[in-house]
Structures are given as structure tokens and as C-alpha cells.
């Protein structure tokens, strides 16, 4: 009997000392009568109350397969940096929708909330990042949920409508207002690091330049990095910026 107890005790100690590996897990959330699937990066041996990052993908990764959103931007970077210390929530916008749509924004925030509860995330260390369409969506969420995020990294996104007919712009701006000034006022004291390629022919670099100027004028905490000669895919250089995550995680709400 004593030998059996000793074996069980040793087994429990061994199991408790085993660090769970970093991994991606699939989850779903119900919002407004619809079920949406999303992915979550869970860091190794998660303990305490981790920081939580919300990532919004670009237009090419839309769908319902819960896979395409893993192909560009932060998810591939995470696969090469599995020692990343934060939980990352990776929702997927359905086809023919925009992150600036109310339904998509509500879904992203619901996935974030569910992940914070499941993984006991630190509500003072919630962070926002997105690229292209997800950059637009990041500005939208920052406007719609002021005071929620501790910092944001917004890549090749924008605020005002592009020349095509997509409904990709920050909603809610009064017609009489300059959209960049309005967004800068609405996001309050949110620290933002803006990234853009200098030769972007999809989302004009001017979108980020004007947003940076509006934040600078307000005296906000803003960093701006423009990559000369880089077209739309500036997210590779942005997420590879060595100081990015130290800067992000240095902020708490």
C-alpha cells in the first residue's frame, strides 16, 4: 500500500512539473444568432493572468474554414516564435464582410472576451493588432471600445474609404469632420505604433501618414514606421521589428 502511494505521489509530481507546450487551439463563439470559429495561440505552461492579443487579418483571409486567417501576418510569425508569452486570439471574418462592419467587430470582441475568461487573461493587458482590412478594423475597434486596449500595432490600415466600392472605412465619422482628426480624438490615450510600406499600392501610405499626423497633433503616444520601397505586404517587416513586443507589453491600462 505504501509503495503504491509513493508511486502515485511521484507520478503526480512528475505530471505537475511537465510544462504544456505552446499550441494553437480551435474555439467557437455565438454572436447574434450565428456561430463563428476562431483560433487561439496558447503559450507554453500558461500560468497566472497572461496578456492577451487580438489579431485581425486582411481581406484575403476571409472565410469560414478557420484556416485562412492563419496564413498571413502574426500567425506565421507565431509559428516561428512559439516562445511568445501572450495568448493570441485569431478570429476569421466571413466572406464579403469587413472588420469595420458592426457584426464582425462584435464577433471579434466576443472571441476576445471568451478567451480572456477561458485563459484567465489580464484585463489590464489587452492588446490590438491588425493588417490591411484588419488595420482598418483595428482603428474601428479602438474607436468603438475606448479604454479596452493597453496598446495597438496597426499595419497598412487606414481610416477613410478607398477608391473602390468596398465599405472599408471607419464608420461613425460625421460628414463634416476630418476622419483622421475624429479617430484620433475618439481613441483617447491609446498608445499606437503604426506601420506601412512606402510603396503600398493597395492601401495608400497616406492613410497612415495622416493618422500619425493627427495623433501627433493631439500629443498622443504614437510611433510611426514606414518601410521604403515596400508594397502592401509590410506586415512581415512590422512583426519582425525587434522592439515591437517589448514596446507593446510595456503598456498597461
Residue 15 lies in a domain: no
- Of the candidates 74, 70, 41, 207, which has an alpha carbon nearest to the alpha carbon of residue 152? 74
Q: How far is CA 165 from the centre of its chain?
A: 25
Which pLDDT score, from 0 to 100, does residue 3 have? 47
Which pLDDT score, from 0 to 100, does residue 76 have? 98
Residue 38 lies in a domain: yes
Cβ atoms of 92 and 123 within 8 Å: the answer is: no
- Of the candidates 38, 249, 33, which has an alpha carbon nearest to the alpha carbon of residue 124? 249
Residue 182 lies in a domain: yes
- Of the candidates 182, 99, 189, 175, which has an alpha carbon nearest to the alpha carbon of residue 140? 99
Which pLDDT score, from 0 to 100, does residue 167 have? 80
The residue segments making up the domain with residue 175 are 23-249
SS3 of residue 152 by DSSP: strand
Task: List pLDDT tens digits, range 105-160.
Answer: 999 999 999 999 999 999 999 999 999 999 999 999 999 999 999 999 999 999 99
Residue 6 lies in a domain: no
Task: List pLDDT tens digits, range 53-79.
Answer: 999 999 999 999 999 999 999 999 999
Residue 215 lies in a domain: yes
For the beta carbon of residue 55, count every other beta carbon within 10 angstroms. 26
Q: In the predicted model, what is the mean pLDDT of residues 98-108?
A: 97
Residue 5 lies in a domain: no
Which pLDDT score, from 0 to 100, does residue 163 have? 78
Cβ atoms of 150 and 124 within 8 Å: the answer is: yes
For the beta carbon of residue 102, count every other beta carbon within 10 angstroms. 12
Cβ atoms of 211 and 49 within 8 Å: the answer is: no
Cβ atoms of 61 and 68 within 8 Å: the answer is: yes
Which pLDDT score, from 0 to 100, does residue 49 have? 97
Which pLDDT score, from 0 to 100, does residue 165 have? 66
In this structure, what CATH number is given to the domain that contains residue 147?
A: 3.40.50.1820
Q: What's the structural domain count of the chain?
A: 1
Task: List pLDDT tens digits, range 200-244.
Answer: 999 999 999 999 999 999 999 999 999 999 999 999 999 999 999
Residue 91 lies in a domain: yes
State yes or no: pLDDT of 88 exceeds 70.
Answer: yes
pLDDT tier at 11, thresholds 50, 70, 90: very low
Q: What is the pTM of this model?
A: 0.92
Query: What ranges in 17-153 are assigned the alpha helix state H?
Result: 74-80, 102-118, 133-144
State yes or no: pLDDT of 7 exceeds 70.
Answer: no
Task: List pLDDT tens digits, range 25-44.
Answer: 999 999 999 999 999 999 99
**Cell numbers given for 31:** 454572436
pLDDT tier at 166, thresholds 50, 70, 90: confident
Residue 171 lies in a domain: yes
SS3 of residue 195 by DSSP: strand
Q: Which residue has the higher pLDDT, 92 or 2?
A: 92
What's the helix, strand, coil split of the chain in %, to 5?
35, 20, 45
Which pLDDT score, from 0 to 100, does residue 18 have? 54
Q: Helices 102-118 & 133-144, crossing angle to 10 degrees?
A: 80
State yes or no: pLDDT of 9 exceeds 90.
Answer: no
Report the C-alpha gap between 57 and 99 in whole angstroms.
Answer: 9
Which pLDDT score, from 0 to 100, does residue 197 have? 98
Amino acid at each position: 500500500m505504501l509503495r503504491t502511494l509513493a508511486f502515485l505521489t511521484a507520478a503526480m509530481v512528475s505530471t505537475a512539473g511537465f510544462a504544456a507546450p505552446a499550441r494553437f487551439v480551435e474555439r467557437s463563439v455565438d454572436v447574434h444568432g450565428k456561430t463563428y470559429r476562431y483560433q487561439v495561440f496558447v503559450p507554453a505552461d500558461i500560468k497566472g493572468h497572461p496578456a492577451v492579443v487580438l489579431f485581425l487579418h486582411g481581406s484575403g483571409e476571409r472565410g469560414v474554414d478557420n484556416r485562412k486567417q492563419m496564413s498571413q501576418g502574426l500567425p506565421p510569425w507565431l509559428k516561428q516564435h512559439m516562445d511568445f508569452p501572450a495568448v493570441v486570439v485569431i478570429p476569421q471574418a466571413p466572406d464579403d464582410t469587413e472588420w469595420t462592419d458592426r457584426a464582425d467587430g462584435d464577433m471579434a470582441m466576443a472571441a476576445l472576451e471568451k478567451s480572456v475568461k477561458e485563459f484567465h487573461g489580464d484585463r489590464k493587458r489587452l492588446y490590438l493588432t491588425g493588417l490591411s482590412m484588419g488595420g482598418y478594423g483595428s482603428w474601428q475597434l479602438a474607436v468603438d471600445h475606448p479604454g479596452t486596449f493597453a496598446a495597438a500595432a496597426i499595419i497598412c490600415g487606414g481610416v477613410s474609404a478607398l477608391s473602390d466600392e468596398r465599405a472599408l472605412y471607419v464608420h461613425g465619422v460625421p460628414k463634416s469632420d476630418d476622419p483622421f482628426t475624429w479617430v484620433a480624438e475618439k481613441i483617447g490615450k491609446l498608445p499606437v505604433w503604426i506601420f506601412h510600406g512606402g510603396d503600398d499600392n493597395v492601401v495608400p501610405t497616406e492613410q497612415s501618414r495622416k493618422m500619425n499626423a493627427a495623433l501627433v497633433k493631439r500629443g498622443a503616444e504614437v510611433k510611426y514606421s514606414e518601410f521604403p520601397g515596400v508594397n502592401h505586404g509590410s506586415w512581415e517587416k512590422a512583426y519582425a521589428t525587434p522592439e515591437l513586443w517589448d514596446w507593446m507589453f510595456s503598456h498597461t491600462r
